[in-house]
Amino acid sequence: MILFVALALSLCPQIDEEQSKPEIDISLGCKKCGFMGAEDCNGHGKLFDAEHQVTYCWEAAQCKDCSGALLVDCNGCESGPLFLRRQQQLSKMERFIKSTTEPGILLERKLPRILTEHFDLCVTAKKMKNGSKNMDTHQLMHSMATECEAAASLFDTHFEAQPFNYSNRARLWYWTSEKDHQEVCVEILGSNGGSDLKFYGVNPAVSSFSNGYGLSNDALEVVRNAVHVSIHLMLSSVHQVSWIGNKKAGWFDVGAAHWYEDKLFARVATYCIDEANSGLHYENGQWRVAMKKYLRKNKTYILPTLTQLTSGVLEEEQHALAWSFYDYVVANHPAALKPMLLGYKNDVESRVLFKKHLEMNIMQVEDAWRAWVAETYPAKDIKPRKKV
């Protein structure tokens, strides 16, 4: 019996001890770094998570430890997924650091800059008041990036847009020096823009004097303005380059910009009248209760006239009406937003677009809008945000 077992064992293939050991995966780091090859940089404090939400931040790129990659070497290995990511990020940061912007070239100095998926941001004020406290430039620009991207995410959903559907990032420039602002307006955007100038086209941009009337270097006002204006710029550059505000589509252009501003801040404060943040506060910028009362009181049809106007001629109350009508379309016909925008860009009239995409004539659309407002708008507006 013992002989049989020995014979059986002798016939079994011998296991090579070297072959039994697992191969070393060079894509893994070492024990020191948790096998990742790099570790988080600890030089970014409370804004570390915010840095991960942007493509490039001029402040993060100045970090002596990570140069903006947000990762530091393990110093114990040269492999692992985070090691490779760090190399890729360093290469990207180097390209951004070497790149220049038109205002930077014009003004001959390095400017604060944050890039996100949709925006190229610059704010030059050293600090702004935010509620009872102050925000420095770095904090402010990250807040602007966060709020603008939140609006852009909603916008992308509504208009079925991906990054490649835009002609370019929208450039948002806020200058604490009125001289810098005017120089940028004249030399880059081609016009003396007062306190605010928007530039539509392949490379959309806005230049604003952040200490001007209606903004006053207040963080909430400036960021809310940036959200509002960014929608105008995105509308002009998505899917097809064309600004609808100078066509008979002012209600759509203005209503949309107000809608995303209100969605994030529960208050509207930007009117873009006379190419400036006017500082107007129609019904204190809270419009649901006001529009419910207005439509109940005014029985004459509104849309036949409203849908014939350009953005620049809308009066205060027409801004609120445009917002409310856009609010109705978003809530009841969201699939119509993209084809209606493209229709306006191709000079199709509202009555035709309503019939095709809302399946009603203009009077029926207004009746439906009025009924929806009466049923859904509250008796009391919610409290607006007081800071970013």
Q: What is the pLDDT of residues 323-379, one digit of tens each?
A: 999 999 999 999 999 999 999 999 999 999 999 999 999 999 999 999 999 999 999
Q: Taking the model in full, what pTM does it have?
A: 0.88
Cβ 341 vs Cβ 252: under 8 Å: yes
Contacts of 289 (CB under 8 A, 6+ apart): 377, 378, 379, 380, 381
* DSSP labels, 222-267: HHHHHHHHHHHHHHHHBSS---GGGTT-HHHHHHHHHHHHHHHHSS
192 burial type by CB count under 10 A (0-12 exposed, 13-18 middle, 19+ buried): exposed
- Work out the angle between the directed axes of helices 362-376 and 316-332 (0-180°, nearest 10): 90
List the CATH code of the domain at 102-376: 1.10.390
Mean pLDDT of all residues in 118-136: 93
Confidence of residue 282 (pLDDT cuts 50, 70, 90): confident
| Alpha-carbon torsion (355, 151, 371, 285), positive or negative | negative
Q: What is the pLDDT of residue 279?
A: 52
Residue 8 has a pLDDT of 38
SS3 276: strand
Cβ–Cβ contacts within 10 Å for residue 241, how many? 16
Using the predicted structure, report yes or no on whether residue 175 has a pLDDT greater than 90. Answer: yes
Q: Using one digit for the tens of pLDDT, what is the confidence trace for 36-72?
A: 777 888 888 889 899 899 999 998 888 888 888 888 8
- Whether 276 shows a pLDDT value over 60: the answer reads no
Most confident of 16-25, 88-97, 197-206: 197-206
Alpha-carbon distance values, 261 to 12, 70, 179, 211, 317 (Å)? 76, 32, 28, 20, 17
pLDDT at 74 over 90: no
Percent of the chain with pLDDT over 90: 63
**Predicted local distance difference test score (pLDDT) of residue 17:** 42
Alpha helix locations (H) across 112-218? 137-159, 178-184
- Which is more confidently placed, 284 or 322? 322
Residue 71: phi, psi to the nearest 5?
-130, 145
Location of structure tokens 């072959």: 19
Count CB atoms within 10 A of the CB of residue 32. 12
Q: What is the mean pLDDT of residues 372-388?
A: 93
Q: Could you identify the residue written with the tokens 């856009």?
A: 326
Q: Which run of H or E residues covers position 98?
A: helix 81-98
What are the structure tokens assigned to 381, written together? Answer: 């507006």
Sign (positive/negative) of CA torsion 272, 277, 281, 286? positive
222 closest CA partner among 174, 167, 187, 190: 174
Average pLDDT, the chain: 87
Every domain of the chain and the residues it spans: 35-99, 102-376
Q: What integer pLDDT is reported at residue 27 of this predicted model?
A: 63
- At residue 171, what are phi and psi to the nearest 5 degrees? -100, 125
The answer, yes or no, to whether residue 384 has pLDDT greater than 70, is yes
- H helix or E strand, kind and range, residue 51: helix 48-52
Helix (H/G/I), strand (E/B), else coil: 209 = strand
SS3 184: helix
User: For residue 129, what pLDDT is reported?
Assistant: 92
CA angle (110 as vertex; 104, 111 as ends), nearest 5: 75
pLDDT digits (tens, 9 = 90+) for 3-45: 333 333 344 444 344 444 444 445 665 767 667 777 888 888 8
